[in-house]
């Protein structure tokens, strides 16, 4: 009989082990992602990396529901980072195509959903391996969470200054107030530093950060302000 139709016992055993490993990965991913839909993440991969790199120093972070974050900050981060957020399914196809056109090095094109996946589960750096894991977790996050939850988690885990994670800690660190009390300008300044919060400063903005914040304010208004995030997908 053809060996490919009736493989030896050892090969069948390895196939079973491989199949069980795949099923185990799927189940584990689904359970973790589903749980985080309902409970705040106790930490993130990026926060753990910060602790390791800084002698077990705890990062600053206070979880707050999205209802306790100024709507101006929610729309500011969407305007700055991912303007198609309410309508895409985790990936900005046009941005990915642009990245491919610029060469084969993986970079950019990250949506808010992808950034949540990266911050929660992965490591920093650029590689196709990490991008693959990022896509895997992004698919599950988009499948299991509503958009409002994705944005809520992002607003609580994004880094806004060295060791300062989430909107509440960032608002208190930079402006001495709660995230709910942020003005439109302060929200735009916080969103402006997201590309490189370890170099850019929201409370002491450089000329570039100030210009970027002004652009974010204009973009937020053109999108329709916080009402842009109030559609059925959110």
pLDDT at residue 10, as a whole number? 76
pLDDT at residue 93, as a whole number? 77
Same-domain status, 111 and 63:
yes
* Higher local confidence (pLDDT), 95 or 183: 183
Same-domain status, 24 and 131:
no
Same-domain status, 6 and 92:
no
pLDDT at residue 205, as a whole number? 97
Same-domain status, 217 and 164:
yes
Same-domain status, 224 and 207:
yes
Same-domain status, 7 and 86:
no
pLDDT at residue 200, as a whole number? 97
Rounded to two decimals, the pTM is 0.88
Q: How far apart are the first and last CA of the chain?
A: 57
Q: Residue 29 pLDDT more than 90?
A: no
Does residue 234 form part of some domain? no
pLDDT at residue 12, as a whole number? 76
Does residue 175 form part of some domain? yes
pLDDT averaged over the chain? 89
Same-domain status, 27 and 111:
no
- Give the CATH number of the domain where residue 106 resides: 1.10.3810.10
DSSP states along 124-185: SS--HHHHHHHHHHHHHHHHHS-HHHHHHHHHHHSEEETTEESHHHHHHHHHSS-GGG--HH
Q: Residue 3 pLDDT more than 70?
A: no
Same-domain status, 30 and 48:
no
Same-domain status, 111 and 216:
yes
Q: Domain residues for 135? A: 44-229
What would the mean pLDDT of 43-65 be, rounded to a whole number? 96
Same-domain status, 81 and 21:
no
| Range with the poorest average pLDDT among 20-24, 78-82, 195-199, 205-209 | 20-24
Please give the tally of structural domains in the chain: 2
What would the mean pLDDT of 99-103 be, rounded to a whole number? 55
């Amino acid at each position: 009989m053809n060996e490919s139709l009736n493989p030896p016992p050892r090969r069948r055993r390895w196939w079973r082990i491989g199949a069980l490993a795949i099923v185990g990965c799927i189940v584990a991913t689904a359970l973790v992602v589903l749980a985080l839909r309902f409970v705040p993440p106790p930490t993130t991969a990026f926060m753990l990396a910060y602790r390791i790199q800084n002698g077990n120093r705890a990062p600053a972070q206070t979880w707050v529901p999205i209802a306790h974050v100024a709507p101006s900050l929610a729309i500011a981060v969407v305007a700055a980072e991912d303007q198609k957020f309410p309508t895409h399914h985790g990936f900005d196809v046009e941005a990915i195509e642009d990245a491919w056109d610029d060469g084969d090095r993986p970079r950019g094109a990250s949506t808010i959903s992808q950034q949540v996946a990266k911050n929660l589960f992965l490591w920093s750096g650029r590689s196709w391996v990490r991008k693959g894991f990022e896509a895997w977790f992004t698919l599950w996050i988009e499948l299991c969470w509503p958009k409002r939850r994705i944005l809520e988690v992002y607003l609580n885990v994004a880094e806004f200054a060295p060791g300062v994670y989430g909107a509440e800690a960032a608002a208190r660190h930079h402006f001495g107030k709660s995230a709910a009390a942020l003005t439109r300008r302060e929200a735009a300044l916080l969103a402006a530093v997201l590309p490189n919060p370890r170099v850019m400063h929201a409370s002491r903005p450089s000329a570039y950060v100030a210009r970027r914040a002004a652009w974010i304010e204009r973009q937020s208004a053109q999108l329709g302000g916080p009402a842009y995030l109030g559609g059925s997908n959110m």
